[in-house]
């Protein structure tokens, strides 16, 4: 029996494919916020062929919706994809939702949070502060900042 944990064998960093997938999801969510729309918990999952399926979770409280999105990633992996959504077994995913993150002064600011991961890699989170929801051109956001490592879903 070896003493190696699964996390020890996972690669650091993210692939270009995961970077594109998560950046596109964050961009879509920022566009919704600029237009004044509510951002539900949004999930995108991609298979090895690059097929992408999108899911939205909004029928519960935020914590339940976030957990629902995480469960959906695990479910897609167990089921080797979702034929209805046109995606095979997921190899990468990104989840985004609105929350609040403390700034340098300890004051909580509105933020778009992102969780992302890929099979064989460590999973991470990031956030981008935003202000001016619904103001279109007046909407502003910060570049994403790292928020830490998460438990891998794949």
**Are the beta carbons of 40 and 68 closer than 8 angstroms?**
no
The SS3 assignment for 34 reads: helix
Structure tokens that stand for 59 in this block: 């029928």
pLDDT digits (tens, 9 = 90+) for 30-47: 999 999 998 999 999 999
Domain boundaries, the chain: 6-146
pLDDT digits (tens, 9 = 90+) for 91-139: 999 999 999 999 999 999 999 999 999 999 999 999 999 999 999 899 9
**Are the beta carbons of 38 and 112 closer than 8 angstroms?**
no
In the numeric block, the tokens 């939702």 are attached to 97
List, in order, residues 6 or more apart from 104 with CB less than 8 Å away: none
Q: What sections of 8-147 are H helices per DSSP?
A: 16-34, 62-78
């Amino acid at each position: 029996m070896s003493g190696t944990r699964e996390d020890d064998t996972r690669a650091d960093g993210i692939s270009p494919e995961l970077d594109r997938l998560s950046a596109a999801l964050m961009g879509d969510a920022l566009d919704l916020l600029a237009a004044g729309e509510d951002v539900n918990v949004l999930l995108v999952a991609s298979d090895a062929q690059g097929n992408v399926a999108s899911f939205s979770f909004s029928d519960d409280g935020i914590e339940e919706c976030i957990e629902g999105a995480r469960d959906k990633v695990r479910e897609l992996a167990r089921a080797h994809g979702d034929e209805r959504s046109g995606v095979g077994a997921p190899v990468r995913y990104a989840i985004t939702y609105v929350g609040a993150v403390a700034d340098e002064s300890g004051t909580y600011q509105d933020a778009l949070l992102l969780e992302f991961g890929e099979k064989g890699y460590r999973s991470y989170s990031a956030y981008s502060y935003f202000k001016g929801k619904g103001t279109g051109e007046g909407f502003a956001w910060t570049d994403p900042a790292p928020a830490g490592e998460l438990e891998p879903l794949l």
